[in-house]
Chains A and B, each alone.
Chain A
Amino acid sequence: MNEQLHYIDDYFTGALRPEEKAAFEQRCTSDQEFARAVAFYLTARSVIKEAVHENKAAAFKKMPVSMAVAKRPVGRYLAVAATLLLLVIAGWLYYKGSPAPSKLADSYIKENLSQLSVTMSSESDSLQTGIAAYNKGDYAAAEKIFTILSNTASVKTDAIKYLGIVYLVTKRYDMAITQFDLLSQIPLYANPGPFYKALALLQRGTPEDLQLAKKLLLEVKNNQLPGSKYAVEWLNKL
Protein backbone atom coordinates (compact mmCIF):
# COMPACT_ATOMS: atom_id res chain seq x y z
CA MET A 1 0.00 0.00 0.00
CA ASN A 2 1.03 3.58 -0.62
CA GLU A 3 2.89 4.62 2.58
CA GLN A 4 2.31 8.27 1.77
CA LEU A 5 -1.40 7.68 2.12
CA HIS A 6 -0.94 6.47 5.72
CA TYR A 7 1.07 9.57 6.46
CA ILE A 8 -1.49 11.91 4.86
CA ASP A 9 -4.45 10.17 6.54
CA ASP A 10 -2.65 10.33 9.89
CA TYR A 11 -2.28 14.09 9.45
CA PHE A 12 -5.92 14.75 8.61
CA THR A 13 -7.24 12.38 11.27
CA GLY A 14 -5.08 14.13 13.90
CA ALA A 15 -2.80 11.16 14.58
CA LEU A 16 0.55 12.98 14.15
CA ARG A 17 2.61 14.55 16.90
CA PRO A 18 3.24 18.33 16.65
CA GLU A 19 6.77 17.91 15.23
CA GLU A 20 5.52 15.40 12.67
CA LYS A 21 2.72 17.80 11.72
CA ALA A 22 5.23 20.59 11.16
CA ALA A 23 7.33 18.31 8.95
CA PHE A 24 4.23 17.34 7.00
CA GLU A 25 3.26 20.97 6.40
CA GLN A 26 6.81 21.82 5.36
CA ARG A 27 6.85 18.93 2.91
CA CYS A 28 3.63 20.23 1.26
CA THR A 29 5.52 23.38 0.26
CA SER A 30 8.79 21.74 -0.78
CA ASP A 31 7.72 18.48 -2.44
CA GLN A 32 5.28 19.02 -5.27
CA GLU A 33 4.63 15.31 -5.80
CA PHE A 34 3.70 15.01 -2.14
CA ALA A 35 1.48 18.11 -2.34
CA ARG A 36 -0.24 16.52 -5.33
CA ALA A 37 -0.92 13.38 -3.28
CA VAL A 38 -2.39 15.57 -0.52
CA ALA A 39 -4.54 17.38 -3.09
CA PHE A 40 -5.81 14.03 -4.36
CA TYR A 41 -6.54 12.79 -0.84
CA LEU A 42 -8.54 15.90 -0.01
CA THR A 43 -10.45 15.85 -3.29
CA ALA A 44 -11.27 12.16 -2.86
CA ARG A 45 -12.55 12.66 0.68
CA SER A 46 -14.59 15.65 -0.40
CA VAL A 47 -16.13 13.63 -3.25
CA ILE A 48 -16.97 10.78 -0.86
CA LYS A 49 -18.53 13.27 1.55
CA GLU A 50 -20.56 14.65 -1.34
CA ALA A 51 -21.82 11.10 -2.03
CA VAL A 52 -22.77 10.73 1.66
CA HIS A 53 -24.78 13.95 1.48
CA GLU A 54 -26.51 12.93 -1.72
CA ASN A 55 -27.48 9.55 -0.26
CA LYS A 56 -28.84 11.23 2.83
CA ALA A 57 -30.77 13.83 0.83
CA ALA A 58 -32.24 11.06 -1.35
CA ALA A 59 -33.28 9.11 1.76
CA PHE A 60 -34.94 12.21 3.24
CA LYS A 61 -36.75 12.84 -0.01
CA LYS A 62 -38.16 9.30 0.04
CA MET A 63 -39.57 9.70 3.54
CA PRO A 64 -43.37 9.49 3.57
CA VAL A 65 -45.09 12.87 3.32
CA SER A 66 -47.11 12.19 6.45
CA MET A 67 -43.84 11.94 8.36
CA ALA A 68 -42.14 14.77 6.58
CA VAL A 69 -44.87 17.34 7.05
CA ALA A 70 -44.56 17.97 10.73
CA LYS A 71 -46.96 20.40 12.30
CA ARG A 72 -45.88 23.68 13.85
CA PRO A 73 -45.40 23.38 17.59
CA VAL A 74 -48.38 25.72 18.25
CA GLY A 75 -50.57 23.44 16.18
CA ARG A 76 -49.31 20.48 18.10
CA TYR A 77 -50.10 22.08 21.46
CA LEU A 78 -53.60 22.87 20.20
CA ALA A 79 -54.02 19.30 19.02
CA VAL A 80 -52.88 18.00 22.43
CA ALA A 81 -55.25 20.39 24.21
CA ALA A 82 -58.16 19.36 21.98
CA THR A 83 -57.39 15.67 22.55
CA LEU A 84 -57.28 16.19 26.32
CA LEU A 85 -60.60 18.03 26.21
CA LEU A 86 -62.15 15.22 24.18
CA LEU A 87 -60.81 12.67 26.64
CA VAL A 88 -62.28 14.60 29.56
CA ILE A 89 -65.69 14.80 27.82
CA ALA A 90 -65.53 11.14 26.80
CA GLY A 91 -64.57 10.15 30.35
CA TRP A 92 -67.43 12.16 31.80
CA LEU A 93 -69.91 10.58 29.39
CA TYR A 94 -68.44 7.17 30.11
CA TYR A 95 -68.89 7.41 33.85
CA LYS A 96 -72.22 9.21 33.61
CA GLY A 97 -73.87 6.59 31.41
CA SER A 98 -74.42 2.91 32.07
CA PRO A 99 -71.31 0.81 32.43
CA ALA A 100 -69.82 -0.32 29.15
CA PRO A 101 -69.94 -4.10 28.58
CA SER A 102 -66.17 -4.29 28.56
CA LYS A 103 -66.09 -2.50 31.91
CA LEU A 104 -68.29 -5.18 33.45
CA ALA A 105 -65.97 -7.85 32.11
CA ASP A 106 -62.92 -5.87 33.19
CA SER A 107 -64.04 -5.61 36.75
CA TYR A 108 -64.92 -9.34 36.85
CA ILE A 109 -61.43 -10.23 35.54
CA LYS A 110 -59.76 -7.97 38.10
CA GLU A 111 -61.79 -9.37 40.97
CA ASN A 112 -61.84 -13.03 40.06
CA LEU A 113 -59.07 -13.86 37.62
CA SER A 114 -56.07 -11.92 38.93
CA GLN A 115 -55.16 -14.97 40.95
CA LEU A 116 -56.12 -18.57 40.24
CA SER A 117 -56.83 -20.79 43.18
CA VAL A 118 -54.25 -23.46 43.87
CA THR A 119 -55.83 -26.86 44.32
CA MET A 120 -54.23 -29.73 46.15
CA SER A 121 -53.74 -32.56 43.77
CA SER A 122 -50.75 -34.85 43.59
CA GLU A 123 -51.38 -35.90 40.01
CA SER A 124 -51.36 -32.41 38.59
CA ASP A 125 -48.09 -30.88 39.79
CA SER A 126 -47.47 -29.34 36.39
CA LEU A 127 -50.86 -27.69 36.50
CA GLN A 128 -49.94 -26.16 39.86
CA THR A 129 -46.67 -24.94 38.35
CA GLY A 130 -48.68 -23.26 35.59
CA ILE A 131 -51.04 -21.71 38.11
CA ALA A 132 -48.09 -20.50 40.19
CA ALA A 133 -46.55 -18.89 37.08
CA TYR A 134 -49.89 -17.26 36.30
CA ASN A 135 -50.25 -15.94 39.85
CA LYS A 136 -46.75 -14.46 39.61
CA GLY A 137 -47.82 -12.68 36.42
CA ASP A 138 -45.47 -14.79 34.28
CA TYR A 139 -48.12 -15.35 31.60
CA ALA A 140 -45.63 -16.54 28.99
CA ALA A 141 -44.50 -19.41 31.23
CA ALA A 142 -48.08 -20.19 32.23
CA GLU A 143 -49.13 -20.25 28.56
CA LYS A 144 -46.35 -22.71 27.71
CA ILE A 145 -47.27 -25.05 30.56
CA PHE A 146 -51.03 -24.97 29.90
CA THR A 147 -50.48 -25.46 26.17
CA ILE A 148 -48.51 -28.64 26.83
CA LEU A 149 -50.99 -29.85 29.44
CA SER A 150 -53.97 -29.24 27.17
CA ASN A 151 -52.83 -32.42 25.36
CA THR A 152 -52.60 -34.44 28.57
CA ALA A 153 -55.85 -36.29 29.12
CA SER A 154 -55.87 -36.18 32.95
CA VAL A 155 -55.65 -32.39 33.20
CA LYS A 156 -56.89 -31.41 29.75
CA THR A 157 -60.09 -29.66 30.92
CA ASP A 158 -58.38 -27.44 33.48
CA ALA A 159 -55.45 -26.76 31.16
CA ILE A 160 -57.79 -25.58 28.38
CA LYS A 161 -59.68 -23.38 30.84
CA TYR A 162 -56.51 -21.85 32.26
CA LEU A 163 -54.99 -21.38 28.81
CA GLY A 164 -58.14 -19.50 27.77
CA ILE A 165 -57.85 -17.35 30.89
CA VAL A 166 -54.19 -16.59 30.11
CA TYR A 167 -55.25 -15.42 26.63
CA LEU A 168 -58.11 -13.44 28.16
CA VAL A 169 -55.96 -11.50 30.63
CA THR A 170 -53.32 -10.90 27.99
CA LYS A 171 -56.05 -9.49 25.73
CA ARG A 172 -55.72 -12.11 22.97
CA TYR A 173 -59.46 -12.50 22.73
CA ASP A 174 -59.65 -14.55 19.52
CA MET A 175 -57.37 -17.19 21.02
CA ALA A 176 -59.25 -17.08 24.31
CA ILE A 177 -62.56 -17.66 22.50
CA THR A 178 -61.08 -20.68 20.70
CA GLN A 179 -60.09 -22.24 24.05
CA PHE A 180 -63.46 -21.50 25.66
CA ASP A 181 -65.22 -23.03 22.65
CA LEU A 182 -63.12 -26.17 23.18
CA LEU A 183 -63.97 -26.11 26.87
CA SER A 184 -67.69 -25.71 26.14
CA GLN A 185 -67.60 -28.84 24.00
CA ILE A 186 -66.31 -30.98 26.84
CA PRO A 187 -69.23 -32.75 28.57
CA LEU A 188 -69.13 -31.40 32.14
CA TYR A 189 -71.80 -31.21 34.78
CA ALA A 190 -71.10 -27.47 35.30
CA ASN A 191 -69.18 -26.12 32.33
CA PRO A 192 -67.72 -22.60 32.79
CA GLY A 193 -66.89 -22.39 29.05
CA PRO A 194 -69.94 -20.36 27.95
CA PHE A 195 -69.49 -17.79 30.73
CA TYR A 196 -65.77 -17.32 29.98
CA LYS A 197 -66.53 -17.07 26.28
CA ALA A 198 -69.11 -14.36 27.05
CA LEU A 199 -66.40 -12.54 29.04
CA ALA A 200 -64.00 -12.67 26.11
CA LEU A 201 -66.70 -11.46 23.72
CA LEU A 202 -67.59 -8.53 25.98
CA GLN A 203 -63.90 -7.61 26.09
CA ARG A 204 -63.45 -7.87 22.31
CA GLY A 205 -66.50 -5.68 21.97
CA THR A 206 -67.71 -5.75 18.36
CA PRO A 207 -71.51 -5.21 17.95
CA GLU A 208 -71.91 -8.89 16.99
CA ASP A 209 -69.87 -9.89 20.06
CA LEU A 210 -72.28 -8.08 22.35
CA GLN A 211 -75.28 -9.90 20.88
CA LEU A 212 -73.56 -13.28 21.12
CA ALA A 213 -72.39 -12.54 24.68
CA LYS A 214 -75.98 -11.76 25.71
CA LYS A 215 -77.13 -15.05 24.20
CA LEU A 216 -74.44 -16.96 26.08
CA LEU A 217 -75.19 -15.18 29.36
CA LEU A 218 -78.86 -16.10 28.93
CA GLU A 219 -77.84 -19.74 28.45
CA VAL A 220 -75.64 -19.53 31.58
CA LYS A 221 -78.56 -18.02 33.53
CA ASN A 222 -81.17 -20.51 32.32
CA ASN A 223 -78.97 -23.59 32.86
CA GLN A 224 -77.53 -22.36 36.16
CA LEU A 225 -74.01 -22.77 34.80
CA PRO A 226 -70.95 -21.36 36.58
CA GLY A 227 -71.12 -17.55 36.47
CA SER A 228 -74.94 -17.48 36.54
CA LYS A 229 -74.99 -14.92 39.37
CA TYR A 230 -73.02 -12.46 37.22
CA ALA A 231 -75.03 -13.39 34.13
CA VAL A 232 -78.28 -12.33 35.82
CA GLU A 233 -76.76 -9.06 36.99
CA TRP A 234 -75.15 -8.23 33.66
CA LEU A 235 -78.18 -9.07 31.56
CA ASN A 236 -80.05 -6.35 33.46
CA LYS A 237 -77.34 -3.84 32.67
CA LEU A 238 -76.53 -4.67 29.06
Chain B
Amino acid sequence: MIPISVNSSRDAEILAGLQLGGPARRSFEELLYTSFFYLTREGERKYSLTTDDSASAYSDAVISVIDNVVAGRFEHRASLKTYISQIFYNKCVDLKRKSATNKERVHHTSDLDTMMMMLPDNARNAVQQLIDNNNRILLRQKLSEIGEKCKELLLLFEDGYPDREIATMLHYNSAEVVKVSRRRCLDKLREKMPGYE
Protein backbone atom coordinates (compact mmCIF):
# COMPACT_ATOMS: atom_id res chain seq x y z
CA MET B 1 0.00 0.00 0.00
CA ILE B 2 1.28 3.45 -0.81
CA PRO B 3 1.41 5.39 2.44
CA ILE B 4 -0.82 8.43 2.45
CA SER B 5 1.19 11.31 3.73
CA VAL B 6 -0.11 13.40 6.59
CA ASN B 7 -2.22 15.76 4.58
CA SER B 8 -2.92 18.64 6.82
CA SER B 9 -0.90 21.00 8.85
CA ARG B 10 -3.22 20.40 11.79
CA ASP B 11 -2.42 16.66 11.69
CA ALA B 12 1.27 17.46 11.57
CA GLU B 13 0.93 19.91 14.45
CA ILE B 14 -0.97 17.43 16.62
CA LEU B 15 1.36 14.53 15.84
CA ALA B 16 4.45 16.60 16.53
CA GLY B 17 2.92 17.88 19.76
CA LEU B 18 2.06 14.39 20.98
CA GLN B 19 5.55 13.18 20.26
CA LEU B 20 7.09 16.27 21.79
CA GLY B 21 6.62 14.91 25.29
CA GLY B 22 6.81 16.90 28.50
CA PRO B 23 3.90 18.81 30.02
CA ALA B 24 3.14 20.44 26.63
CA ARG B 25 1.80 17.11 25.39
CA ARG B 26 -1.42 17.62 27.36
CA SER B 27 -2.49 20.60 25.27
CA PHE B 28 -2.05 18.59 22.07
CA GLU B 29 -4.10 15.77 23.54
CA GLU B 30 -6.85 18.30 24.12
CA LEU B 31 -6.43 19.68 20.62
CA LEU B 32 -6.79 16.17 19.21
CA TYR B 33 -9.90 15.63 21.34
CA THR B 34 -11.58 18.85 20.23
CA SER B 35 -10.54 18.57 16.58
CA PHE B 36 -12.68 15.55 15.74
CA PHE B 37 -15.33 15.80 18.43
CA TYR B 38 -17.98 16.20 15.75
CA LEU B 39 -17.57 12.46 15.08
CA THR B 40 -19.66 11.82 18.19
CA ARG B 41 -22.73 12.82 16.13
CA GLU B 42 -21.97 9.86 13.87
CA GLY B 43 -21.89 7.62 16.94
CA GLU B 44 -25.36 8.82 17.86
CA ARG B 45 -26.72 8.63 14.32
CA LYS B 46 -25.11 5.48 12.93
CA TYR B 47 -24.91 3.38 16.08
CA SER B 48 -27.90 4.78 17.98
CA LEU B 49 -25.74 5.54 21.00
CA THR B 50 -26.77 8.11 23.58
CA THR B 51 -24.85 11.38 23.58
CA ASP B 52 -22.93 10.30 26.69
CA ASP B 53 -22.07 6.86 25.30
CA SER B 54 -20.94 8.30 22.02
CA ALA B 55 -18.75 10.83 23.83
CA SER B 56 -17.36 8.02 25.99
CA ALA B 57 -16.51 5.89 22.93
CA TYR B 58 -14.92 8.93 21.32
CA SER B 59 -12.89 9.64 24.43
CA ASP B 60 -11.66 6.00 24.43
CA ALA B 61 -10.78 6.32 20.74
CA VAL B 62 -8.77 9.50 21.35
CA ILE B 63 -6.92 7.84 24.23
CA SER B 64 -6.05 4.86 22.00
CA VAL B 65 -4.79 7.19 19.29
CA ILE B 66 -2.66 9.06 21.84
CA ASP B 67 -1.21 5.77 23.14
CA ASN B 68 -0.42 4.59 19.63
CA VAL B 69 1.16 7.85 18.53
CA VAL B 70 3.25 8.13 21.70
CA ALA B 71 4.39 4.50 21.41
CA GLY B 72 5.27 5.02 17.73
CA ARG B 73 2.56 2.63 16.53
CA PHE B 74 0.87 5.19 14.28
CA GLU B 75 2.37 4.56 10.86
CA HIS B 76 1.03 7.62 8.99
CA ARG B 77 -0.79 5.39 6.50
CA ALA B 78 -3.93 7.48 6.90
CA SER B 79 -4.89 10.95 8.01
CA LEU B 80 -5.58 11.42 11.70
CA LYS B 81 -9.27 11.81 10.91
CA THR B 82 -9.45 8.47 9.12
CA TYR B 83 -7.43 6.79 11.83
CA ILE B 84 -9.46 8.14 14.72
CA SER B 85 -12.73 7.46 12.85
CA GLN B 86 -11.85 3.79 12.41
CA ILE B 87 -10.98 3.36 16.07
CA PHE B 88 -14.04 5.34 17.13
CA TYR B 89 -16.44 3.26 15.02
CA ASN B 90 -14.93 0.07 16.46
CA LYS B 91 -15.41 1.47 19.96
CA CYS B 92 -19.03 2.29 19.09
CA VAL B 93 -19.61 -1.29 17.96
CA ASP B 94 -17.93 -2.60 21.12
CA LEU B 95 -20.06 -0.33 23.25
CA LYS B 96 -23.20 -1.43 21.46
CA ARG B 97 -22.36 -5.08 22.11
CA LYS B 98 -21.40 -4.66 25.74
CA SER B 99 -24.02 -5.11 28.40
CA ALA B 100 -25.27 -1.93 30.01
CA THR B 101 -23.36 -2.63 33.21
CA ASN B 102 -20.07 -3.09 31.44
CA LYS B 103 -20.14 -0.06 29.19
CA GLU B 104 -17.32 1.76 30.90
CA ARG B 105 -14.91 -1.11 30.43
CA VAL B 106 -14.37 -1.20 26.70
CA HIS B 107 -10.58 -1.05 26.68
CA HIS B 108 -9.59 -2.27 30.09
CA THR B 109 -8.06 -5.64 29.33
CA SER B 110 -6.48 -4.65 26.03
CA ASP B 111 -3.43 -3.12 27.73
CA LEU B 112 -2.75 -6.33 29.59
CA ASP B 113 -3.13 -8.28 26.35
CA THR B 114 -0.68 -5.97 24.59
CA MET B 115 1.99 -6.57 27.21
CA MET B 116 1.27 -10.30 27.32
CA MET B 117 1.95 -10.47 23.61
CA MET B 118 5.56 -9.56 24.34
CA LEU B 119 5.99 -13.06 25.76
CA PRO B 120 6.34 -16.11 23.50
CA ASP B 121 3.48 -18.65 23.56
CA ASN B 122 4.82 -21.00 26.25
CA ALA B 123 5.74 -18.27 28.67
CA ARG B 124 2.51 -16.42 27.94
CA ASN B 125 0.40 -19.47 28.72
CA ALA B 126 2.28 -20.06 31.97
CA VAL B 127 1.81 -16.45 33.09
CA GLN B 128 -1.75 -16.15 31.78
CA GLN B 129 -2.94 -18.92 34.09
CA LEU B 130 -1.67 -16.98 37.08
CA ILE B 131 -3.34 -13.68 36.23
CA ASP B 132 -5.96 -13.06 38.86
CA ASN B 133 -8.46 -10.50 37.60
CA ASN B 134 -9.91 -10.28 41.08
CA ASN B 135 -6.71 -8.52 42.07
CA ARG B 136 -7.54 -5.55 39.88
CA ILE B 137 -10.02 -3.85 42.18
CA LEU B 138 -7.74 -4.28 45.18
CA LEU B 139 -4.76 -3.03 43.18
CA ARG B 140 -6.67 0.12 42.25
CA GLN B 141 -7.41 0.66 45.89
CA LYS B 142 -3.81 0.06 46.95
CA LEU B 143 -2.56 2.40 44.21
CA SER B 144 -4.04 5.27 46.16
CA GLU B 145 -2.19 4.12 49.30
CA ILE B 146 1.39 4.26 48.02
CA GLY B 147 1.68 8.07 48.23
CA GLU B 148 0.97 10.78 45.69
CA LYS B 149 4.52 11.05 44.36
CA CYS B 150 4.77 7.29 43.76
CA LYS B 151 1.39 7.24 42.11
CA GLU B 152 2.24 10.18 39.86
CA LEU B 153 5.49 8.52 38.86
CA LEU B 154 3.76 5.28 37.90
CA LEU B 155 0.95 7.08 36.06
CA LEU B 156 3.38 9.19 34.02
CA PHE B 157 5.36 6.11 33.04
CA GLU B 158 2.24 4.26 31.94
CA ASP B 159 1.18 7.38 30.06
CA GLY B 160 4.19 6.79 27.84
CA TYR B 161 6.60 9.35 29.25
CA PRO B 162 10.17 8.01 29.23
CA ASP B 163 12.17 8.10 32.46
CA ARG B 164 14.31 11.04 31.29
CA GLU B 165 11.20 13.19 30.70
CA ILE B 166 9.71 12.17 34.04
CA ALA B 167 13.01 13.21 35.65
CA THR B 168 12.54 16.71 34.22
CA MET B 169 8.84 16.92 35.00
CA LEU B 170 9.11 15.70 38.59
CA HIS B 171 12.54 17.22 39.31
CA TYR B 172 14.51 14.01 39.79
CA ASN B 173 18.28 14.12 39.30
CA SER B 174 18.38 11.65 36.44
CA ALA B 175 16.49 9.04 34.44
CA GLU B 176 18.28 6.34 36.44
CA VAL B 177 16.90 7.76 39.70
CA VAL B 178 13.43 7.73 38.14
CA LYS B 179 13.84 4.12 37.10
CA VAL B 180 14.91 3.01 40.56
CA SER B 181 12.18 5.08 42.23
CA ARG B 182 9.54 3.74 39.86
CA ARG B 183 10.52 0.17 40.66
CA ARG B 184 10.48 0.96 44.39
CA CYS B 185 6.95 2.27 43.96
CA LEU B 186 5.87 -0.88 42.14
CA ASP B 187 7.46 -2.91 44.91
CA LYS B 188 5.62 -0.82 47.48
CA LEU B 189 2.39 -1.61 45.67
CA ARG B 190 3.24 -5.32 45.65
CA GLU B 191 3.96 -5.32 49.37
CA LYS B 192 0.52 -3.89 50.03
CA MET B 193 -1.16 -6.81 48.26
CA PRO B 194 -2.16 -9.75 50.44
CA GLY B 195 -0.24 -12.86 49.42
CA TYR B 196 2.57 -10.85 47.75
CA GLU B 197 4.09 -9.15 50.83
Give residues in A with beta carbon < 8 Å to B.
1-2, 5-6, 9, 11-12, 24-26, 28-29, 32, 35-36, 38-53, 55-57, 60-61, 63, 67-72
Which residues of B lie under 8 Å from residue A51 when comparing CB positions? Answer: 140, 143, 155, 158
Most chain A Cβ neighbours within 10 Å, of B116, B123, B143, B196: B123
B36 within 8 A of A: yes
Select one of B34, B115, B130, B193 contacting A46, CB under 8 A.
Answer: B115
The dominant DSSP class at the A interface is helix
Min CB–CB distance B145 → chain A (angstroms) = 13
Contacting residue for B159 out of A9, A52, A68, CB 8 A: A52
Known: A52-B155, A56-B29, A61-B55. A41 touches B186 (CB 8 A): yes
6 A-B contacts (beta carbon < 8 Å): A28-B123, A38-B127, A39-B132, A56-B159, A67-B30, A69-B38
B155 — which chain A residues lie within 8 A by C-beta?
Answer: 48, 51-52, 55
Given contacts A6-B183, A35-B126, A36-B130, contact A49 B158 (CB under 8 A): yes
A49–B193 Cα gap in the complex (Å)? Answer: 18
Give A11 to B139 CA distance when docked, in angstroms.
22
Any chain A CB within 8 A of the CB of B167? no
Q: 1/0 per position for B152-194, CB-CB distance to A under 8 A?
A: 0011011100000000000000000000001110110110010
Tell me the bound Cα distance from A112 to B135 in angstroms. 77
A2 vs B132: C-alpha distance in the bound complex, in angstroms? 21
| Given A25-B122, A38-B127, A39-B132, A9 and B140 contact (CB-CB distance below 8 Å) | no
Interface-side segment among B14-22, B59-67, B94-102: B59-67
- Whether A46 touches B122, Cβ cut-off 8 Å, given contacts A1-B184, A57-B56, A63-B30, is no
Q: How far is the CB of A215 from chain B (nearest CB, A)?
A: 49
Is there a chain A Cβ closer than 8 Å to B35's Cβ? Answer: yes
**Smallest Cβ distance from B54 to chain A, in angstroms?**
12
A39 & B183 in contact (Cβ 8 Å cutoff): no
* Shortest Cβ gap from B175 to chain A (Å): 12
